Chains A and B, each alone.
Chain A
């Protein structure tokens, strides 16, 4: 937080990062994504989220599987960053509901997520998200979420 060039508000930081693609500045400005090791990356022209593996993400130490809550967190974060960085919404979208399907157990390694906005209205956005590890065609979790974009 010693960055003297830090924008005054989150909205102005988001506007800057949309242009500069210095995603790290945004994900580091949010304490929870920094704690979870969740970042945004541009890979082959596509914006993805990565949750870097750390032992604190484990939910079952016998099976060495990621905690289901961490996958929910990654999926929800990917949806929020998609809305913040790929649309012109001015504030952090408020989640209305989140439904997560857990498809396979998460191994102790990095996990990726990609969000797709299925509908964006004036007040509500519907977003679908998938998470995978080694093989994108074998997702380990998926979600659909509703967000409130603005007050009337």
Chain B
């Protein structure tokens, strides 16, 4: 990744940002996160259902931790898309509201949008759903610090 600027075309942006799911971020890869769509300031990331992610063995419902990771990853990517390049960022805070229990056996999809950036801070919101955006599992709000000089 010698060039930190993202290509103009959508396919190129998707391919470059996907490196954060396949190569650069081991924990994204360990959970099987996949970047499936990119917009001007929006990232869509899928977390496939897997038995090792279950938090309640009696119901098969996925734990909260993988959902936090999914949201954090999607939010970071949306900031790169908004700014058109890779830059060092750190998560300052993340608030997640769980709107309904996730259904077992079904993938979770996070759609994150970076709706505002300042010189130092990026503001992001995200929704997590299981196929129907009108019936979300979780909503989230995060702030990130741009750590470049």
A74 to B, closest residue via Cβ:
B65
Cβ–Cβ contact B68 & A10, under 8 A: no
- A76 interface contact, C-beta 8 A: yes
B interface residues, Cβ below 8 angstroms from A: 23-28, 30, 51-58, 62-66, 68-73, 90-98, 101
Q: Is the interface of B mostly helix, strand, loop or mixed?
A: mixed
Question: Besides the contacts A31-B51, A61-B23, A100-B91, what 13 more A-B pairs have beta carbons closer than 8 Å?
Answer: A31-B57, A32-B62, A32-B63, A58-B25, A59-B25, A60-B25, A69-B69, A73-B69, A74-B65, A92-B56, A96-B97, A99-B94, A102-B92
Cβ–Cβ contact B72 & A92, under 8 A: no
* B93 / chain A contacts, CB cutoff of 8 Å: 99-102
Cβ–Cβ contact A100 & B68, under 8 A: yes
Cβ–Cβ contact A69 & B70, under 8 A: yes
Q: How many residues of A contact B (CB 8 A)?
A: 39
Asked, given contacts A72-B69, A76-B68, whether A31 binds B25 with beta carbons under 8 Å apart, the answer is no
CB distance from B79 to the nearest CB of A (A): 13
* A124 / chain B contacts, CB cutoff of 8 Å: none
Bound state CA distance, A31 and B30, in angstroms? 14
Q: Which of B25, B28, B57, B66 has the most CB of A within 10 A?
A: B57
A interface residues, Cβ below 8 angstroms from B: 9-10, 29-36, 55-62, 66-70, 72-74, 76-77, 92, 94-102, 105
Cβ–Cβ contact B54 & A67, under 8 A: no
Cβ–Cβ contact A98 & B54, under 8 A: no
Asked, given contacts A9-B58, A94-B98, A102-B91, whether A56 binds B30 with beta carbons under 8 Å apart, the answer is yes
* A31 / chain B contacts, CB cutoff of 8 Å: 51-55, 57
Q: Which of B73, B92, B98 contacts A69 (CB 8 A)?
A: B73
What are 13 A-B contacts defined by CB distance under 8 Å? Answer: A29-B57, A30-B54, A32-B52, A61-B25, A62-B24, A69-B66, A73-B66, A74-B65, A92-B56, A98-B98, A100-B68, A100-B93, A102-B91
Cβ–Cβ contact A72 & B65, under 8 A: yes
Cβ–Cβ contact B24 & A60, under 8 A: yes
Q: Which of B23, B30, B97 has the most CB of A within 10 A?
A: B30
Q: Which of A58, A67, A68, A105 contacts B94 (CB 8 A)?
A: A68
CB distance from B58 to the nearest CB of A (A): 5
Cβ–Cβ contact B54 & A57, under 8 A: no
